Amino acid sequence: MILSEEDWMALAISLKVAVVASAASLPFGIAVAWVLARKSFPGKSVLNGLVHLPLILPPVVTGYILLILFGRKGAIGSVLDQVFGIVLSFRWTGAALAAAVMGFPLMVRAIRLSIEGLDRGLESAAATLGASRFDVFRTVTLPLIMPGIVTGTILAFAKAMGEFGATITFVSAIPGETKTLAAAIYGYTQVPGGDEGAMRLTLISVGVSMAALLASELLARRVQARTEGRDA
């Protein structure tokens, strides 16, 4: 099975976008999950709704909203462009943003569940031993919610690998820049004689997904064993 240079690029872009999207959204995911799990404040259900919105909206709508907000003329995009010189629209970074937004609800949900399942007595115990709030979070909370973090990150990664609608709406499918695996497959199906190419990339796609799933399963099991105090 021979991959064309464009196929390789699509695979590389997809992996880059998925890794960056899941890694960059992780701190925000933990913070939002923490706030939703532990804090009560007016407008909490609004925040919860906003986080989950990409799960319910058609991806094209999410992509279009991103375009309005983060496009070069958009409310946020123009500031990013003029002040920081950062352009997201029609760049691979924009694809990462779209993928991150789409995967965010899945990530937050997994982490939130593990925070809610945490025995808060352990945090009190750490405090009585002299650990500051930050130290408690770093040494007790974080390691104990690690299974949720791993699961959430993998879900976000998987979502990013498969993301299509929001990405193509926001950043189009520019070869070598924003043309991900999914976009490339779609592209092949739109041209005569593209079946072979579509099949190649489909197989690649299945292979990458399976590898990611197996790796995550292994990782999750190790982390789970560690937090439960069994020797992995």
> Which residue, 108 or 140, has its beta carbon nearer to another protein?
140
Q: How far apart are the first and last CA of the chain?
A: 39
Under a CB-based contact definition with an 8 Å cutoff, are residues 34 and 51 in contact?
Answer: no
Tell me, what amino acid is at 200? R
Contact residues: another protein, CB under 8 A = 119, 121-122, 124-133, 135-136, 139-140, 143-144, 226-231
CB of 117 to another protein, least distance (A): 13
Q: Exposed (0-12), middle (13-18) or buried (19+): which is 49, by Cβ within 10 Å? A: exposed
CB of 135 to another protein, least distance (A): 7
Q: Exposed (0-12), middle (13-18) or buried (19+): which is 137, by Cβ within 10 Å? A: middle
CB of 32 to another protein, least distance (A): 24
CB of 220 to another protein, least distance (A): 15
> Which residue, 78 or 227, has its beta carbon nearer to another protein?
227
> Which residue, 199 or 232, has its beta carbon nearer to another protein?
232
Q: Which region holds residue 229: left if phi is over 0, alpha if psi is between -120 and 50, else beta?
A: left
> Which residue, 58 or 143, has its beta carbon nearer to another protein?
143
